[in-house]
Amino acid sequence: MSSSSIQTVLITGANRGIGKGIVTVYLSKSDVTVIAAVRDLESISTKALSSLPRAKNSSLITVKIDSSLEQDAIAAVRKLESEHSINKIDVVIANAGTSASLGPVASITAEQLLENVTVNSLGRPLFLFQATLPLLQKSTQPKFVVLGSQAGSIGAMEKAPAPMAAYGSSKAMAHYFVRKIHFEHNDIISFAVEPGFAQSDSGNSIAQMFGMKEAAVPIADSANFVVSQIHYPVISLHFRAASASGKKASRGNPLAGTWTKMD
């Protein structure tokens, strides 16, 4: 099978939570090269990815990308080109993130804010997009997808009452970047997907703050929803917002989903 007929997908934060769930979904599809980007190539969770079932002509590559380090994504792309003969990337999914330092505006420090911004706003999507752009532009239908959050909404802030000032503001910046990519790159389908209140480590921690045992959405459901949104048929729509916890965004309205809005 020619390399052009193989779909290549890169996912950050790929060895746990929603990221691992997304890797699992793509490996279950035929003719997909899955690039699992992780912070630690030697961790048990990373090595466990190699045991995930794979469909026909699907394969797994692991690379190191620490979203807090500006040069990591650049180095990973160089390695993909030189060691794995990757000459295009069809889909980039910016999943890796942090929800460190929960707290209200009155108590967050500059250090706590910068920790969230470095990973959630700069590492993804800025550093990742800049590093992968040349390979995205070699795809016939490139997509750059950021996992967003209602916590980063200004227009729907009342729906995310948790004290997450540092996290929420960093996600709002990420939403801005992916929206801006939509306007600056007509050749790239760029949008954010809100994966729902998923049962990840961070999701469950937030749920427990409110007396819940765990978050509402199983990881598998969240991952399947994200992938379905990425490959949902659209025509000349370069930004789409949706939520696994609620209704799909309108295909006709690229601003559907108030968590992306300013008002």
Say which CATH number the domain at 255 has.
3.40.50.720
pTM (two decimals): 0.85
Active-site hit among 167, 180, 232, 261: 167
- Asked whether the beta carbons of 23 and 34 are under 8 A apart, the reply is yes
pLDDT in tens, 24-55: 999 999 999 999 999 999 999 999 999 999 99
The structure tokens 């692991």 sit at 62
Active site residue 47: no
Active site residue 167: yes
Q: Where are the extended beta strands (E) located within the chain?
A: 7-12, 32-38, 59-64, 91-94, 143-147, 189-193
Contacts of 194 (CB under 8 A, 6+ apart): 147, 148, 149, 150, 241, 242, 243, 244, 245, 257, 259
Give me the pLDDT at residue 2, please.
53
Average pLDDT per run of 10 along the chain, which is 263 residues long? 79 94 97 97 96 97 95 97 97 87 86 88 91 97 90 73 81 91 93 82 69 81 92 49 42 37 39
Q: Which domain holds residue 37?
A: 3-260
Give me the pLDDT at residue 237, please.
39
pLDDT in tens, 162-184: 777 888 888 888 999 999 999 99
Active-site hit among 47, 171, 247, 261: 171
How many domains would you assign to the chain? 1
In this structure, how many other beta carbons lie within 10 angstroms of the beta carbon of residue 202? 17
Query: Distances in Å between the alpha carbon of 185 and those of 62, 140, 171?
Result: 28, 14, 21
Give me the pLDDT at residue 258, please.
45
Give me the pLDDT at residue 204, please.
65
With residues binned 3-state (H G I as helix, E B as strand, rest as coil), the percentages for the chain, rounded to 5, are 45, 15, 45
